[in-house]
Structure 1
Amino acid sequence: MSTATAVINLDIEGPTISRHLYGHFAEHLGRCIYGGFWVGEDSPIPNEGGIRLDVVQALRDLNIPNLRWPGGCFADEYHWRDGIGPREERPRMVNTHWGDVEENNHFGTHEFMALCELLGAEPYISGNVGSGTVQEMSEWVEYLTRDGDSPMARLRRANGRDEPWRVKFWGIGNETWGCGGNMRAEYAADLSRQYATYCRDHGDNKLYRIASGASNDDYKWTETLMRQISCFGCEATPKNFFQALSVHYYTMAGPWEAKGSSTVFDTDDYYRTIAAAQKLDRVLTGHSTVMDCYDPGRTVGLVLDEWGTWWDVEPGTNPGFLFQQNTLRDALVASTHFDIFHKHAARLSMANIAQTVNVLQAMILTDGDTLVLTPSYHVFEMNKGHQDATSLAVHLRTQDARRQVGDAELDSLSASASVKDGQVLISLTNLDAEEPAEVTLDLRGGLLGEPTARLLTADQLQDHNSADTPGEVSPRPFDALKVVDGGLTVTLPPHSFLTISGLVSGRA
């Protein structure tokens, strides 16, 4: 059994952990939209205007802060005018990226905005830079956000919506280095600069423009964007053409060509996965360092708007639908990622799990009228108290808590903490597949009054939830907290995630 001490200064506050780090992503891909969020108004499944209500309620229980749509790769072949007006009159298209299936455009702009209203989430719209035009995206912004008398405002009213919506977050393209146009960084930077110019603020709706950024550790792409798109110190132009840039990072145990099964894996596969997940810390540090050279005041945000595990699709399913099961291993990747997000809260302004329903590392799996909450869903729920909380630095002192995985060294313990309204939330993950870990929480500057804890684990790393066993991997109360002088001691079971909460009280 490894032992560790986690020193937490309860009275020394760090950057705020934006709630938007707990964002989500819904693409027209597989059964994420159709059969996931959208069942149609004639469905026997309870819905409001065609939007599936059990999915809505499950996500509301997470305090979902934002939802990215319509892609992904799909965004750069999506033309928004095809998704407005009477549904029976909307033109159809072929979803060439994902399964080569027909898209009927029944779920479009108005349906998405209705979904966000039901969720209580902010919309994050990705515009079409790859196959669209500057005018097309500019008019979409106007259609959604402009009041008064204008061509797009009149078109919106003709389609049944009088008042404009508030839409702050706009993505300027997606993966312009790949499916969004296979562009060079310099060309993509120029296009982003052009598109951002014509994505205008209408009235008091102020846009947060997110330029399509790098994949993984392509720091040169970030440097090109920061150098060519930003205009710090310029007098004739706004200070920034954009307010953030994106990065995408997926976790897998093997190479892209052989990512492996979501449920059939051994301990070595598990450790390779965790090592890949922990690499995200270095990736975000690298991009932040580049951005600091051009923006030392950190006025430009970094947005990780696609992250999660990516496995081979489940046998017998459409390869283009990216449907995979979700095990305890995926949940521990999520808990590890959130600790990393909290560490980078000063620069990281948003993150979006890929994807919310039935695709990749999903929160929810649906089949007909059945709904299953995945292990990853429970990590989001257990961690939701970190949203908009003030981060607290966690200093881990470990013994025998490191493991060599290939040429990388893996930390088998991960932790983060925050405080909001006097309530502290501490997250701890034991990533060791076989051994428990004893952790002493050295709480300085205060104590936790009547702390409570919840544990997420399972007998096997491969365990997952299904329609037959929906609660196989789910949180349960954990009462094995031992109060010691100056803090708490807890023994975490192997492969487990624990949260501890309590009100801060002063020392006697």
Structure 2
Amino acid sequence: MKRTLSLMIALAITGVALAQSDAKITIKPNVNNQVISRHIYGHFAEHLGRCIYDGFWVSEGSKVPNKGRIRLDIVEALKKIRIPNLRWPGGCFADEYHWRDGVGPRNLRPKMVNTNWGGVTEDNSFGTHEFMELCSMLNTEPYIAGNVGSGTVEEMAKWVEYFNFDGESPMANLRKQNGHAAPWKVSFWGVGNESWGCGGNMTAQFYSDQYKRYATYARNYPGAPLKKIASGSNGEDYNWTETCMKNIGTQMWGLTLHYYTLPSGSWRGSKGSATNFDEKEYFNTIRNTLKMDEIVSKHSAIMDKYDPRKRVALVVDEWGIWTDVEPGTNPGFLYQQNSMRDALIAGINLNIFNNHSDRVKMANLAQTVNVLQALVLTEKDKMILTPTYHVFDLYKVHHDAKYLPMELNTPDYVSGDSKIPAVNASASQDSTGTIHISLVNVDLSKTINLTTSLPGVNWKTVTGQIISSGKITDINTFTEPDKIHIRPFTGAKKMNNDLVVALPPQSVVILKVQ
């Protein structure tokens, strides 16, 4: 009897465990034509460390294949994932950058000290024309961050004129003299950056008044209307958003939000290693990145008070994981490795942005090359693609696709006395009617049995792709560049009219339903 009872208890416990490893999704129809803007998948190239110099921009006479000093292997990699926009020149650097120093003959351009990032001297050989050539090669839209912190209204106004005016004027003529006859017609224009901090240490009230002054003279030239983006909140500073929405309102196209995932949860002391961490630190890191959903929701609610029609975009133009730099590298260069953990972080954040695409119209991962949660790392003539790059490659199916809301019930991932949702997801339908579902399982040991219902959808086949690895600390290196890459996923099948998925631990999966 005791053995029978023990067996019954064991079976009951097993049943509970199985139930706890089950998840359920119901895909709902899109009733308001909401679209996931491709600009959510934007990127960021600041004059910081080796992002521009020794990243995109190689030295004169370099043997690395390049076109006019722009590194071609990076260009081809970014074209493959169809990056929709690229933010430049900063970041904190933007508010000490004076654009006139970066145009004209390169041998006559003055040098400058990058006081924000490492105190290095730059020769200004990469400036406006070089950046616009890079954007042309990438077939991407430029997103310019203007200098409010140390610049003047006149300086910004003349830069807009230099970019966008097609006619006779001092700045248009200077552009022509410097080799570009036609205006570039730049649309995305940031009026300052982190004005609460490195961009001037301003109050929200002072900045919102300055925004209106600077934005007034950032003119809309014929055929080149600006999408003006105000410098928004640092993480949970909801007062900043409240003040800007109240004082600026719809005089801006977008309002920014910056939030970084810190493994330690604190800017003081060590942030945590990019590659050497245990499960407890991993759990805390994922919990910190999931907080993005709460932060976006609360800022969106404030914006809804003043802008119920959602005309102002929430622009999350700095996000990603920020760890300690790699040992032996310049602490001002913010060079960090990129692990399987970072792939999960990328997938989580992109799912969050997709699910808030009624308000989030643009976002920019920090940063593209050799800095923070980079897509690409370089070492002389070598280049590797990070796990984060492969997530953007998977998720490009969501670009400008119709958003599909969902109801998600997920088991928890438990660590000690704490728990977080094990699964997060988003879904869209492209112009051919194909449905794509992106899934992230953050649990390090459990396969999640996921059942998805698609009411009203007549579908026949499902295929998938996956990013996963044996250890959460696994990375791609210059000696083993393809340890983590996209592989076919065969763990999804049709059962009646439901989609049934065995979602492996620590994985990012895209399903294609037709």
Q: Please indicate the TM-score interval, normalised by the length of the shorter structure.
A: over 0.9
One-letter amino acid of the counterpart of residue 356, structure 1: T
Match of 1:467 among 468, 478, 490: 478
Partner of 1:477: 488
SS of residue paired to 1:42: coil
Match of 2:386 among 366, 370, 374: 374
Please state if 1:186 is matched with 2:205.
Answer: yes
Matched residues in 2 for 1:46 and 1:448: separation? Answer: 46
Partner of 1:350: 362
Aligned alpha-carbon RMSD (Å):
1.3
Matched residues in 1 for 2:511 and 2:393: separation? Answer: 13
Matched residues in 2 for 1:122 and 1:40: separation? Answer: 25
Question: 1:192·1:211 contact (CA, 8 Å) conserved in 2?
Answer: yes
In the TM superposition, residue 166 of structure 1 has moved relative to its aligned partner by: 1.7
In the TM superposition, structure 1's runs of 4+ consecutive aligned residues that sit over 2 Å from their partners are 9-14, 400-406, 447-450
One-letter amino acid of the counterpart of residue 427, structure 2: A
Please state if 1:274 is matched with 2:286.
Answer: yes
Partner of 2:133: 114
Matched residues in 1 for 2:207 and 2:414: separation? Answer: 40
Question: 2:440·2:509 contact (CA, 8 Å) conserved in 1?
Answer: yes
Question: 1:175·1:212 contact (CA, 8 Å) conserved in 2?
Answer: yes
Match of 2:512 among 484, 501, 504: 501
Partner of 1:29: 48
Q: Pick closer, same or farther for the CA change 1:337–1:14 going to 2, 3 Å.
A: farther
Q: Name stretches of at least 5 consecutive residues in structure 1 with no aligned partner.
A: 231-239, 504-508
In the TM superposition, residue 167 of structure 1 has moved relative to its aligned partner by: 0.4
Matched residues in 1 for 2:50 and 2:28: separation? Answer: 45
Match of 1:299 among 302, 305, 311: 311
Bigger Rg over Cα: 2
Partner of 1:250: 260
TM-score (norm 1): 0.95
SS of residue paired to 1:197: helix
Q: Name stretches of at least 5 consecutive residues in structure 2 with no aligned partner.
A: 1-17
Question: 2:30·2:402 contact (CA, 8 Å) conserved in 1?
Answer: no
Question: 1:272·1:405 contact (CA, 8 Å) conserved in 2?
Answer: no
Question: 2:449·2:503 contact (CA, 8 Å) conserved in 1?
Answer: yes
Question: 2:30·2:403 contact (CA, 8 Å) conserved in 1?
Answer: no
In the TM superposition, residue 441 of structure 1 has moved relative to its aligned partner by: 1.4
SS of residue paired to 2:285: helix
Aligned sequence identity (%) = 52
Matched residues in 2 for 1:165 and 1:13: separation? Answer: 34
Aligned residue runs from structure 1 range 80-95, under 5 A: 80-95=99-114
Q: Pick closer, same or farther for the CA change 1:409–1:218 going to 2, 3 Å.
A: farther
Partner of 1:285: 297
Aligned residue runs from structure 1 range 137-156, under 5 A: 137-156=156-175
Q: May I ask how many residue pairs the two structures share in their alignment? A: 492
Matched residues in 2 for 1:91 and 1:501: separation? Answer: 52
In the TM superposition, residue 490 of structure 1 has moved relative to its aligned partner by: 1.2
Partner of 1:77: 96
Matched residues in 2 for 1:22 and 1:418: separation? Answer: 14
Match of 2:424 among 406, 414, 425: 414
One-letter amino acid of the counterpart of residue 261, structure 2: T
In the TM superposition, residue 403 of structure 1 has moved relative to its aligned partner by: 3.4
Partner of 1:386: 398
In the TM superposition, residue 480 of structure 1 has moved relative to its aligned partner by: 2.5
Partner of 2:242: 223
Partner of 1:235: none
Match of 1:52 among 60, 68, 71: 71
SS of residue paired to 2:171: helix
One-letter amino acid of the counterpart of residue 367, structure 1: E
Partner of 1:234: none
Matched residues in 2 for 1:458 and 1:369: separation? Answer: 27
Please state if 1:329 is matched with 2:338.
Answer: no
Matched residues in 1 for 2:386 and 2:500: separation? Answer: 29
Partner of 2:35: 16
Question: 1:28·1:70 contact (CA, 8 Å) conserved in 2?
Answer: yes
Question: 1:301·1:349 contact (CA, 8 Å) conserved in 2?
Answer: yes
One-letter amino acid of the counterpart of residue 380, structure 1: F
Partner of 2:192: 173
Match of 2:498 among 462, 483, 487: 487
